[in-house]
Structure 1
Amino acid sequence: MENQGGITVQRALELPGLRGGLPEVVAGADRLSRTVRWVHAGEVPNMASLLKGGELLLTTGLGLGTRPAEQRAFVRRLADRGIAALVVELGPRFSQLPTTLVETARAAGLPLVQLHREVPFVSVTEEVHTEIVNGHYALVQRADEVHRRCTQALLGGGGVPQVLSVLAEFTANPVFLETPDGQLLYAAGEGEPLQVWEGLRGHRPAGAVLVDVPGGGSGTGSVRARLALLPVSAPLAQVHRMAAERTAGILAVVLMQARQEEELAARGRGDFLTDLAEGRVSAHDAPAQARVLGFRPGDGPLLPVVMRLAAELSPSGNWAVLARAVLEELTSVGAPVLLGVRPVEGRVPLLLALRTESERTAVADRVAVALRAGVARAGLERAGAHAPIVVVGVAGGWAAASAGLR
């Protein structure tokens, strides 16, 4: 990630303080995008030992030494320390920079700048530091805006999916919420984030941002989940990490209050099944995305089923209880199942893997009984309320499953 909490060498040279010194870049002109974390001025031979890396070092050259070997060692130590650039003011010590100095800086890839006019180093330091602080404040404001939008999403009745969507939109990249051991809870972002997850599973691309969602406990309980931002569509910057850290704090509170991990996983499966039904996921791509969600049906036909709940049977936000109860009832059917929930629509879509098409009628009857039993176990039966409607589609391949889930 570029420019983490600083400005570039190029930007520092453009500020009035250094610009007034008539700066000339004599080495490392291709490295001026380096980040300046801080400015330091000094004239001692052991200057490198006083630095941490990322500094723009200002000097008149008194500590550079008089012999070529001393000058080479001075520059190499600074390069090894990782400073952003070395700026030498010409004057009594040097009327022009020694060739040894310039060649060593070029070989080390260290930007080396000579100033042809005297400048007050304190003014340069103040000016660059002000720019750095202002830049950091601007990043904080952008990250705080994401926090504000996430809070608004929650106050507007949204949940974790909406929060993740805000972050994904801000980063212009897919965002994933996973368990501490790497199991996917929810994916958000434009396009097909599940395909991204499947393609990158097992490794993280360079520049990925991982932020723990705290769990409030100690030891293994100290991390409840993990946010993963992957630079698929655009690079990730420091502001995106800052926004992710703020989002993680919001997610920690929401997950702690509502224990939404199970519901998130069920919603994620429901989103996939709805995307399949509405054509946003093709029959060709569906098997790979289903595997990400833990569904491996084998070579037999698929049986699509949709249960619709009446408005008065809504589980009042705790869809995890319903999903768990229904899944437990479905274990008696003895077939692999992918079950999701769609709270907004009051739907429970699912796919079952049959061994043969001849099983359809028997399995369909058992599934309908299991679904209604799950609703009863979840405590959703109401006197006088309409019973859940179970619609069973035609058994077949992924294309048939798509049609049967509509």
Structure 2
Amino acid sequence: MSEKRHPAPEHGRDGPGTSAGRGGRDASSAGWCPGPAGSPTVADVLALPVLAAGDPQVVTGRDHIDRPVRWVHITELTDPASFLKGGELVLTTGMPLPDDPTGVRRYVDELATVGAAALVIELVRRYHRPPDPLVDACRARGLPLVTLAEDVNFLEVTQVVHTLILGNQAEAVRRTQRVHEAFTTLTLRGAGPEDVLRAAAEMSGRTVVLESLVHRALVCEPSGSTAHAALTGWERRSRATPPADRTGVRGPEGWLVAPVEYRGEGWGRLVMLPGTPAAFGPEDVTVLERTAMALTIARLTHPASWERTAHRNALRDLVEQRHRSPADARARVAALGLPTEHTRFVAVLADVPAEEDTARTETRLAEELRTTGVPALVGLLAPTRLGVLLALHPSRPWRQSVERLSRTARDPAPDTTVSVGSPASDLADVARSFREAARVAEATEPGQPLPADRSFHERSDIGLRRLLFALRDDTRIQEYAERQLGRLLDHDARHGTDLLATLRGYLDAAGNKTAAARAGGLSRETVYQRLRTIERLLGRDLDSGEQRTELHVALQALDALRGR
């Protein structure tokens, strides 16, 4: 029978199998089978009807029947290995096997050395049970030995398996083409890193992570798992995975990694985590390499800092509570380098006067925090609003850190308003802290004088006037002010009087008519007369403390509505 040479394959890691036709890949082992795309395994081939009819039994190498089969080779030679290049399923009737144990061992050693996928022997003509020397030799070399109890047409086996291999390879080529087309479309569209990684995760069905050179996980797109499962202990796990200048499986967890470059230098790397099946195939490699290429092009065309983008996205997720769970939130924040245990979180908002000032202010804040070594997230939350999440040790005075941050923000733009929420002891309370900071900002009028001892505003600064200013767009506040003071305002407008000023002076003087007359430069009689007119117009009793309070609140609301 003639011998044929076949393309040299690459060898993947082995996984456990059971009996012929029932073995499979081991989803718990992390390996890479970088052979031709779509190659069936030994277990897959043994399950085909054409071989299953021979009642195949795996005698040795059950842990290796997930090896890819790249070709089928029929041989009756005593030295078939010289015609093999690896990955072949070797079929024999057993007729050429040497009679002596030494010859059998040499026969098996040559097959194992060249990388044969498995040896299949028919127990019909020469043998009715596998000879012990053959079993011992195959077991010693980890070579799967499969016996066939029934006669099988070897030519039919080659036709069926080769058709399967070529068909799978053609389909794999089509899938690879679709991968290239998808990433080309993303590149032409100017997609950012989140979109690119999301596409990679969807195509591969695996979790994909983009990390910086200092092992910060900037973007994580989980697939079939949670961010918590993917990112917990990220820096430690990443540092245990050695760097590489080309795509390959690395580290104790068997990550598939690919370098990401920017202007010819290493900038970070992509990580694809093992999933189900655990072994990475050529298509996974293609997806990861095209992802790296798309990211490089995106970085060249949009040179914005991806670290800043990662901080911005993490902040927005925290503020808007978009995480799937508190555990996911902690894992994502920790993967960006922030401590999450025994930490006091402080939410800070900086409202800059003009949109063109935001980028410069954001950069200054990030540099200040990096220089002082304060762990923090900094990012744009709105066109003129920057958010900062400080992660401080509980013993560190938080107001001192906020004061320094506030002065940094106000230095390039003195009209910047800095507001702070009350500290949170858990990451789950950060959204509440940001809501408080937002309420403080809403209650701070433009040009609001700063407190005497600091350059930022906090919740304790909000009195009645600032509360009403924050609520000025509420129609209930507007209706209240109009109902209380409308007739007086109408009278002043029609008659050119200024009774509202008299009422304001009287209420500011806490109902002291003499003090009100002195403050307004009026006689007491004039004040008495005007107050009686006010009582008549409004139908109020100004000697009533409760009614004076109601009118005073209405005046404060009116001032807020008028922006006074």
TM-score (norm 2): 0.56
Give 5+ residue unaligned stretches, structure 1: 374-386
Evaluate the alpha carbon distance shift between residue 212 and residue 275 of structure 1 in structure 2; reply closer, same or farther with a 3 A threshold.
same
Aligned to 1:28: 60
Change (3 A) 1:196 1:324: same
Shift of 1:359: 2.5
- Which of 422, 426, 430 in structure 2 is aligned with 1:394? 422
Q: In structure 2, what is the equivalent of residue 377 of structure 1? A: none
1:69 deviation in Å? Answer: 3.1
Out of 252, 256, 259, the position equivalent to 1:212 is 259
> Aligned pair 1:197/2:234, yes or no?
yes
Do the aligned partners of residues 194 and 11 (structure 1) sit closer, same or farther apart at CA in structure 2, a change above 3 Å counting? closer
Worse-matched range after superposition: 342-351 or 167-176:
342-351
Instruction: Give the Cα separation in 1 of the matches to 2:346 and 2:137.
Output: 68
In the other structure, the counterpart of 1:328 is 367
Q: Deviations over 1:142-173 (max 9, x none)?
A: 44444444454555563111111222234444
- Structure 2 residue ranges without an equivalent (≥5): 1-30, 241-250, 436-564
Alpha carbons 1:330, 1:370 under 8 Å: kept: no
Contact 1:147 1:247 in 2 (8 A): no
Bigger shift: residues 28-37 or 302-311: 302-311
Residues 25-84 of structure 1: per-residue CA shift (max 9 Å, x gap): 352384543321222333433333554432211234354212233224322443454422
What amino acid is the match of 1:27? Answer: V
Deviations 1:348-400 (A, max 9, x none): 32123563144267336414315748xxxxxxxxxxxxx87654323453455
Q: Does 1:64 align with 2:97?
A: yes
User: After the TM superposition, which residues 294-313 of structure 1 pair with which residues of structure 2 at under 5 Å, given as runs?
Assistant: 294-295=337-338, 301-307=344-350, 313=356
Match of 1:376 in 2: none
- Find the counterpart in structure 1 of residue 194 from structure 2: 161
In structure 2, C-alpha distance between the alignment counterparts of 1:137 and 1:248, rounded to whole Å: 25
Give the structure 1 partner of residue 28 of structure 2.
none
SS for the counterpart of 2:253 is coil
Counterparts of 1:403 and 1:24, CA distance in 2:
65
Alignment of structure 1 residues 115-134 onto 2, 5 Å: 116-117=150-151, 119=153, 121=155, 124-134=157-167
Shift of 1:264: 1.6
Match of 1:251 in 2: 295
Matches within 5 A, 1:6-405: 6-15=39-48, 18=51, 22=54, 24-25=56-57, 27-28=59-60, 30=62, 31-48=64-81, 50-89=83-122, 94-100=126-132, 103-104=135-136, 107-108=139-140, 109=142, 110-114=144-148, 116-117=150-151, 119=153, 121=155, 124-153=157-186, 158-179=191-212, 182-189=215-222, 190-192=226-228, 193-195=230-232, 197-198=234-235, 200-203=237-240, 204-215=251-262, 217=264, 221=265, 223-231=266-274, 235-238=278-281, 239-260=283-304, 263-279=305-321, 280=323, 290-295=333-338, 301-307=344-350, 313=356, 323-328=362-367, 334=372, 336-342=374-380, 348-352=386-390, 355-359=396-400, 362-363=403-404, 365-370=406-411, 372=413, 390-399=418-427, 401-405=430-434
- How many residue pairs are counted as aligned between the two chains? 379
Tell me the distance in 2 between the aligned counterparts of 1:127 and 1:346.
Answer: 66
Alpha-carbon contact 2:361-2:412 (below 8 Å) kept: no
Task: Between 394-403 and 65-74, report the one with greater CA deviation.
Answer: 394-403
Greater relative contact order (Cα < 8 A, sep 6+):
1
- SS at structure 2 position matched to 1:35: coil
Measure, in 1, the Cα distance between the counterparts of 2:128 and 2:400: 89
Contact conserved, 2:46 with 2:56, CA < 8 A, in 1?
no
Distance 1:171 1:281 in 2: 22
3-state SS of paired residue (1:36)? coil
For 1:325 and 1:249, the matched residues in 2 are separated by 31
Match of 2:560 in 1: none
8 Å contact from structure 2 (residues 424, 433) kept in 1 = no
Letter paired with 1:209: L
Distance in 2 (alpha carbons) for counterparts of 1:116 and 1:144: 42
- Cα distance between partner residues in 1 of 2:276 and 2:48: 33
In structure 2, the CA distance between the partners of 1:206 and 1:285, relative to structure 1 (3 Å rule), is: closer
DSSP 3-state at the match of 2:165:
helix
> Residues 269 and 7 of structure 1: is their aligned pair in 2 closer, same or farther, counting only changes over 3 Å?
same
